[in-house]
Amino acid sequence: MADIPPQRLRELLAADGPFTEVADRTLEVGLEQLDVDYGHVARVVPGLDHWETIASTDTADGRFPVGITRDLQTTFCRYAVDREDTLALHDIPNQGYDAEPAYRTYGIECYATTPLTVDGEVYGTLCFANETSRSSAFEADDVAVLECLAELLVSKLDYRELELTLEGRNRLVGIFGRILRHNLRNNMTVIRGHLELLDDGRDGEVDMDRLHRNVDDLVSLADKSHELRQIANGDPERRPQSVTRLTKSAAKRIETEHPNATVRIESPGTCRLRSYWGLESAVYELLENAVEHGNTATSERSPRCRVTVEETDRAVTITVGDDGPGLPEHERNVLRGVPERALDHGSGVGLWIVRWVVENHDGSIEIDDGDGTEITLCLPRPTANERLIGPVSGDLDR
């Protein structure tokens, strides 16, 4: 029978520091009290069926390490989310859950999970598990301890959201700074080499096209730096926007900057989303990337891009496609969040902005290489409890 000692409870209530440290201490108490092998905290986005561990007692090569993602429907947590109640299974094979995808996938025979509910909406789950069945069922006191630990975590979640915002911003600025230094050094090395050739009177050895490309790259980096600063310092609240309108605006910029490019848009006339500052920039960066890679098989550059916007009650998806040969691996790594490989190639600056904007929306990115490349941003709609700020000037649907 679980029973948290008062001193341990006071320590948890008074715990300071990053949310992950508080979560780790909470999980350790849960392991002791519930006599189980594993414990983890998961962030869920029901609209996307997204499940991801943000704290865990497991090792990096274990079943539930920090950062692992799963389809919510393949986990036992889906019951806690759907019912908004605790599920405590001590002997899964003999309790009628042996046909569940979670049991078939992980082979876990004991699992207890309860929702982390913030302002009436499920933020995530607190979970504990065993490889094998427990000798006895979870009692009422066990469930009470689990739910008490969940309440403690919820009390810290407001700080966690602030930490995530700051961590994400700092990480993006750090990544961008490294990329900026890397690209500046490479571009300036090339430009300096050509200037030395000119100083030596060896004009015929100067590759003017390459020189112009490097100068253009530096101008582009300056523009990206300004764009990043605008996004980082932008409005921290979600505001209602017309996805159709911001998509058309991004497409207009692309066609102005690249007169040979064609952008076709398919979007519902009234697709609205409460989103953060920077979503239009993300669409623009994807279109610019599509222009770079589109129609490369012919000598005449006339790239054709397409944007498809779709919506459901739970999410909005924005798909940008091109007719090129496929997305280079180093740019795929950017969208996967692997800065080192992106730095090796000195590109992908705009795609880091895309990734950061999508992460801020708790969204996901999918890449499909078929006839060309399609990159899809899936953005969940905010819950009804999130504060709506407005009104927004202008016609939302144009």
CA–CA dist 125, 123 (Å, integer) = 7
Confidence of residue 395 (pLDDT cuts 50, 70, 90): very low
CA–CA dist 46, 41 (Å, integer) = 15
CA atoms within 13 A on the CB side of 87: 21
User: 347 vs 224, which has greater pLDDT?
Assistant: 224
Average pLDDT over residues 177-197: 76
Least confident range from 169-183, 256-270, 300-314: namely 169-183
Average pLDDT over residues 118-140: 89
pLDDT in tens, 242-263: 999 999 999 999 999 889 888 9
Phi, psi of 327 (to 5 degrees): -80, 130
pLDDT of residue 12: 62
Read off the DSSP letter of residue 108. -
Confidence of residue 158 (pLDDT cuts 50, 70, 90): low
Q: How far is CA 360 from the centre of its chain?
A: 7
CA–CA dist 316, 378 (Å, integer) = 6
pLDDT of residue 176: 64
**Contact yes or no for 139/104 (Cβ under 8 A):** no
pLDDT of residue 339: 53
Least confident range from 16-25, 117-126, 289-298: namely 289-298
**Contact yes or no for 116/125 (Cβ under 8 A):** yes
Asked whether the domain spanning 236-398 has the same topology as the one spanning 6-162, the reply is: no
Which has the closest alpha carbon to 164: 293, 41, 18?
18
Architecture of domain 6-162: 2-Layer Sandwich (3.30)
Q: Where are the alpha helices (DSSP H) in 84-136?
A: 101-106
Helix (H) or strand (E) holding 130: strand 121-130
**Whether pLDDT at 363 is above 70:** yes
CA–CA dist 69, 250 (Å, integer) = 31
Q: Which CATH number fits domain 236-398: 3.30.565.10, 3.90.45.10, 3.90.380.10, 1.20.5.510?
A: 3.30.565.10
**Contact yes or no for 273/238 (Cβ under 8 A):** no
pLDDT of residue 1: 45
Asked if the bond preceding 391 is cis, omega within 30° of 0, the reply is yes
pLDDT of residue 361: 84
pLDDT of residue 232: 61
Among 139-148, 324-333, 375-384, the range with the most confident prediction by mean pLDDT is 139-148
Give domain limits for the chain. Answer: 6-162, 236-398
Which has the closest alpha carbon to 110: 138, 141, 131, 86?
131
Confidence of residue 89 (pLDDT cuts 50, 70, 90): very high
User: 303 vs 232, which has greater pLDDT?
Assistant: 303
pLDDT in tens, 324-362: 877 777 777 777 766 554 444 445 567 878 888 888 788
Question: Which whole-number Å values give the CA distances from 374 to 108, 173, 304, 322, 357, in the listed order?
Answer: 37, 27, 12, 7, 18
